[in-house]
Amino acid sequence: MKDALRESLQQALDSLRRDGVLDVPLPDFVVERTRSHEHGDFACNVALLLAKQAGKKPRDVAAAIVAALPANPLLARVEVAGPGFINFYLADAAWHAEVRRVLQEGAGYGRSRTGGGRVVGVEFVSANPTGPLHVGHARAAAIGDSLSRLLAATGWKVYREYYYNDAGAQIGNLALSVQARIRGIEPADPRWPENGYRGDYICDVARDYLAGATVAAGGERVTAAKSPDDLDAIRRFAVTWLRREQDADLRAFGVVFDVYFLESSLYRDAKVQQVVERIAAQGHSYEADGALWLRSTTFGDDKDRVMRKSDGSYTYFVPDVAYHLSKWERGYQRAITELGADHHGSLTRVRAGLQALGVGIPKDWPEYVLHQMVTVMRGGEEVKISKRAGSYVTLRDLIDMAGLDATRYFLIARKSDSQLVFDIDLARAQTNDNPVYYIQYAHARVCSVERQLHERGMVFELGNALQHLDRLDSGYARSVMVALSRYPETVEAAAATCEPHVLAQYLRDLAGAFHVWYNARQFLVDDGDVRNARVALAWATRQVLANGLDLLGVSAPQSM
């Protein structure tokens, strides 16, 4: 509807320009939904933007535009309001047309070709393979997967990517921890590695290693060497073992990746060294204090950054530059990286490193989505410890405690850069206070209407319903139709801004409008025309709820 109104306005403005009434460049105007129906259903500010250039009063410009609008049966009236806003009041036929569109397009309703088939890589989770996935990784998984679904729904060709940090000191600590367990050393023992991992999962890795088990992950199979002295063999086995466990947790969470990328491959293939050499060749590095520095201040950083330390090792952001360069070389026209907010400090230097390569990468590439911490509460107290992990709540713990659907919805429902309190008791509650239950119950209610329809021997005629939507006689029904019509633009906005929570909140609003209407009206009445119209609107609501829940990775149950 926004697009249709914008097109009508464009036709009016073109007409006024041809007639010489507005001989000025046309501004980039917007059509927005109003906060209150008293001010129309939609409003536009174009007259305010044009008035100064045209040397006329805004209300006069608005009146001229309104007079030039082409006839439109979906408009009840158009008014000039306030200092010069143009307010559009839609006819009931406009909302009825949207209901028809929902029922005709079905699962395709709300999808678009905005992305034009362009390629976008969405990298998320990317946890070190040193332990089970924790609640922060769970939030990353829920946000990243839902964002990927939204982008696909708006016409992008999406690749979900997982970056394994399988190199560096933390992997060495993992190997030493497993080796200690293999030798019977426990965390309380003075011989325990200083930065060792203490969770029970280390015992599981050590047990399988000693048993000569074979584990597979990412197309790689590793058979345990069983030797307690072969630290490299222990490292390879432990990393693969934990990658397998993380993959299993993510599959249980409904998340599957298209690309797995190993940090170790950047060193194996000399990609990190090549990046440093390319930056030097572009004249954006220098040596000082025995180290090699990136002139990152040239690209907006607050200070220059060390790339290669005096001992010859690389700082942690350099492989990140090499990794993101690989995305560019693999043809990602857009790259989105989802990270914990604690990584914020590395963003500018990674972008600076990419700019310093001189290969044409845009300065705002990649895009970043940052998520804040999650606090898990149960019984009014914070849950901090998982026996298996040793010091934190795991993704699997969260699913076991709250259920898959509630876990995904709750982790998405708030803006990612805001801190999140995950209330286990609320997530399990079967009340209207639980938003995911509230939304799913709306879907299940429509399904129950369909079952009752058949049980009573009543016939639903879609063709009849589409012809008699004017029998939807209440403001409650209108509220549902207005909410339905917001779905396509909500999907577009959530995808464009990388904010899946926008969709989560929309679904709660739609469910609320439906519940109010459901409680106020009988659906299965004797009047066939009224019954068909109400059931049709209920079916349209069910369709949009199912479409939206699918984009969040949440199920749409038929009964509850």
Q: Sorting pLDDT into bands at 50, 70 and 90, what band is 25?
A: confident
Q: Is residue 65 part of a domain?
A: yes
Query: Who's near 44: CB < 8 A, 6+ residues apart?
Result: 5, 9, 29, 30, 31, 32, 85, 86, 88
Query: Is the pLDDT confidence value at 391 over 80?
Result: no
Q: Sorting pLDDT into bands at 50, 70 and 90, what band is 3?
A: confident
Q: Is residue 382 part of a domain?
A: no
Domain region containing 471: 431-552
Query: Who's near 426: CB < 8 A, 6+ residues apart?
Result: 433, 434
Q: What is the pLDDT of residues 81-93, one digit of tens each?
A: 999 999 999 999 9
Judge whether 164 and 151 are in contact, CB under 8 Å: no
**Residue closest to 414 by CA, chosen among 527, 478, 503:** 503
State the pLDDT at residue 342: 81
Q: Is residue 399 part of a domain?
A: no
State the pLDDT at residue 23: 83
Q: Is residue 426 part of a domain?
A: no
Residues 99-119 have a mean pLDDT of 97
Query: Is the pLDDT confidence value at 388 over 80?
Result: no
State the pLDDT at residue 455: 95
State the pLDDT at residue 389: 61
Domain boundary among 90, 109, 140: 90
Domain boundary among 226, 256, 286: 256
**Residue closest to 396 by CA, chosen among 257, 243, 246:** 246
Question: For 355-486, where are the E strands, in sequence order?
Answer: 367-371, 374-378, 381-382, 420-423
State how many domains the chain has: 3
Q: Which residue has the higher pLDDT, 185 or 385?
A: 185
- pTM: predicted TM-score of the whole model, two decimal places: 0.93
Residues 476-497 have a mean pLDDT of 97
CA–CA gap between residue 459 and residue 465 (Å, rounded): 11
Residues 86, 188 share a domain: no
CATH of the domain at 480: 1.10.730.10
Query: Is the pLDDT confidence value at 429 over 90?
Result: yes
Q: Is residue 225 part of a domain?
A: yes
CA–chain centroid gap for 171, Å, is 30
Query: Is the pLDDT confidence value at 520 over 90?
Result: yes
State the pLDDT at residue 168: 80
Q: What is the pLDDT of residues 463-486, one digit of tens each?
A: 999 999 999 988 999 999 999 999
Percent of the chain with pLDDT strictly greater than 70: 99
Residues 435, 544 share a domain: yes
Intra-chain end-to-end CA distance of the chain, in Å: 34
Q: Is residue 248 part of a domain?
A: yes
- Residue environment code for 181-206, b if the CB has 16+ CB neighbours within 10 A, otherwise e: bbeebeeeeeebbeebbbbebbebbb
Torsion angles phi and psi, residue 233, rounded to 5: -65, -40
Query: In the numeric block, which tokens belong to residue 500?
Result: 């899946």
Taking all residues of the chain, what is their mean pLDDT, rounded to a whole number?
94
State the pLDDT at residue 20: 87
Domain boundary among 240, 256, 272: 256
Judge whether 164 and 261 are in contact, CB under 8 Å: yes
CATH of the domain at 77: 3.30.1360.70
State the pLDDT at residue 387: 60
Query: Is the pLDDT confidence value at 383 over 80?
Result: yes
Reading phi first (left if > 0) and then psi (alpha if -120 to 50, else beta), residue 71 is in beta
Q: Is residue 182 part of a domain?
A: yes
Residues 173, 83 share a domain: no
Q: What is the pLDDT of residues 161-183, one digit of tens each?
A: 999 988 888 999 999 999 999 99
Residues 84, 175 share a domain: no
Residues 181, 85 share a domain: no
**Residue closest to 64 by CA, chosen among 76, 53, 51, 52:** 51
Residues 531, 444 share a domain: yes
CA–CA gap between residue 377 and residue 426 (Å, rounded): 10
Q: What is the pLDDT of residues 204-231, one digit of tens each?
A: 999 999 999 999 998 889 999 999 999 9
Q: What is the pLDDT of residues 32-61, one digit of tens each?
A: 999 888 889 999 999 999 998 889 999 999
Q: Is residue 177 part of a domain?
A: yes
Query: Is the pLDDT confidence value at 442 over 90?
Result: yes
CA–CA gap between residue 154 and residue 83 (Å, rounded): 36
